[in-house]
């Protein structure tokens, strides 16, 4: 992650909360948030799914939930503030760590004794790019769910970091229909799926860096995923890149699922 190199060892000199809703999960309130973080040194930068946390000297951590639209940015002192700036940290090297969040579904709080792993997110599973992610353990727990494979991918207690877009793209690449029951997936299918999930996430992260001014470092991948990279997501009616069949859209968990009906046939009742 690009964030660590910019914040580790840096002291926070000033904290500005531009929107109180962005610290609503910090129960003691905005003043306590800014007071406790001022003149404190950041000693790490960790990520799990849509959460980031910055371990602090003394054992607490700043916990950030990116929500639907949250982004953490590093900006030089002369860079214009991004739209939707909610919280700003002035660092002792002159750079600023900025939390921008258009829809304010995300937010920040201080996690007491959360430096190693904030207890608030201990139930969130690791993401497939995490060096400590365990594929064999994932396979076992996935099969136990006995549910549709996409539903399982979106379950953060099983695997984190996989949103609707990543899931659809990875399922098309494997290829697997989203309704395939996890109980019947072969080891090879699970391994292929995991590989594709990881690849899609890496591609999105790599592209995320180019959607901002070069002075910004975007550490939240999915928002930067360019539409031209997408094989199925949002491509209803267009030709499948593999076989030419028209991409289909289904309603799924209040959202949409996009598939190629030929490459990803829907499982028949009583089979798979
Ligand atoms: Zn196809």
Residues 67/45, Cβ–Cβ less than 8 Å: no
- CA–centroid distance, 202 to ligand 1, in Å, is 23
- CA–centroid distance, 264 to ligand 1, in Å, is 7
pLDDT given for residue 108 in this prediction = 97
- Interatomic CA distance for residues 181 and 223, integer angstroms: 29
- CA–centroid distance, 158 to ligand 1, in Å, is 28
- CA–centroid distance, 114 to ligand 1, in Å, is 46
Q: Where are the alpha helices (DSSP H) in the chain?
A: 3-7, 30-37, 135-145, 149-153, 164-173, 187-208
- CA–centroid distance, 261 to ligand 1, in Å, is 7
Work out the number of other CB atoms within 10 angstroms of the CB of residue 99: 27
- CA–centroid distance, 247 to ligand 1, in Å, is 8
**Tens place of pLDDT per residue across the chain (272 aa):** 478 889 999 999 999 999 999 999 999 999 999 999 999 999 999 888 778 899 999 999 999 988 777 888 888 888 888 889 999 999 999 999 999 988 888 899 999 999 999 999 999 898 888 888 999 999 999 999 999 999 999 998 999 888 888 899 999 999 999 999 999 999 999 999 999 999 988 887 666 533 222 233 444 444 444 556 889 998 999 999 999 999 999 999 888 999 999 999 999 875 55
- CA–centroid distance, 248 to ligand 1, in Å, is 10
User: The sheet that has 40-41: what strands, in order across it?
Assistant: 40-41, 11-17, 85-91, 96-101, 70-75
Residues in the chain: 272
pLDDT given for residue 211 in this prediction = 29
**What pTM, to 2 d.p., does this model score?**
0.73
Distances, alpha carbon 188 to alpha carbons 2, 138, 195, in Å: 32, 13, 10
- CA–centroid distance, 4 to ligand 1, in Å, is 40
Q: For the residues of 98-135, what is the DSSP string, one character each? A: EEEESS---EEEEETT-SSS-GGGTTSPPPTTSTT--H
Q: For the residues of 184-213, what is the DSSP string, one character each? A: G--HHHHHHHHHHHHHHHHHHHHHHTTSS-
**Nearby residues of 89 by Cβ (< 8 Å), 6 or more positions away:** 12, 14, 15, 37, 96, 97, 98
- CA–centroid distance, 170 to ligand 1, in Å, is 13
Q: How many degrees, rounded to 5, is the angle at CA 220 between CA 127 and CA 96?
A: 130
- CA–centroid distance, 175 to ligand 1, in Å, is 9
- CA–centroid distance, 226 to ligand 1, in Å, is 21
- CA–centroid distance, 242 to ligand 1, in Å, is 5
Residues of the chain by 3-state class (helix, strand, coil), percent to 5: 30, 25, 50
- CA–centroid distance, 260 to ligand 1, in Å, is 5
Joined tokens for residue 154: 């979106």
- CA–centroid distance, 238 to ligand 1, in Å, is 11
Residues 127/133, Cβ–Cβ less than 8 Å: yes
- CA–centroid distance, 152 to ligand 1, in Å, is 23
- CA–centroid distance, 138 to ligand 1, in Å, is 28
């Amino acid at each position: 992650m690009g964030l660590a190199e910019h914040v580790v060892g840096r002291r926070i000199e000033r904290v500005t909360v531009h929107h109180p809703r962005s610290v609503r999960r910090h129960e003691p309130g905005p003043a306590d948030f800014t007071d406790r973080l001022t003149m404190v040194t950041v000693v790490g930068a960790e990520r799990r799914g849509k959460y980031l946390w910055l371990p602090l000297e003394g054992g607490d951590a700043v916990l950030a939930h990116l929500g639907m639209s949250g982004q953490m940015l590093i900006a030089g002192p002369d860079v214009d503030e991004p739209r939707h700036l909610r919280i700003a940290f002035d660092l002792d090297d002159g750079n600023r760590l900025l939390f921008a969040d258009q829809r304010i579904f995300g937010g920040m709080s201080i996690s007491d004794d959360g430096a190693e792993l904030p207890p608030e997110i201990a139930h969130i599973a690791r993401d497939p790019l995490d060096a400590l992610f365990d594929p064999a353990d994932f396979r076992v727990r996935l099969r136990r769910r006995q549910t549709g494979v996409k539903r399982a991918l979106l379950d953060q207690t099983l695997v984190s970091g996989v949103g609707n877009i990543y899931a659809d793209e990875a399922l098309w690449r494997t290829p697997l229909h989203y309704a395939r029951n996890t109980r019947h997936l072969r080891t090879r299918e699970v391994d292929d799926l995991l590989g594709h999930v990881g690849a899609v996430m890496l591609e999105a992260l790599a592209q995320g860096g180019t959607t901002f001014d070069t002075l910004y470092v975007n550490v939240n991948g999915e928002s930067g995923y360019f539409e031209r990279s997408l094989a199925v997501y949002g491509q209803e009616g267009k030709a499948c890149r593999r076989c030419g069949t028209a991409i289909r859209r289904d309603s799924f968990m209040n959202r949409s699922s996009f598939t190629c009906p030929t490459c990803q046939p829907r499982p028949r009742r009583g089979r798979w």
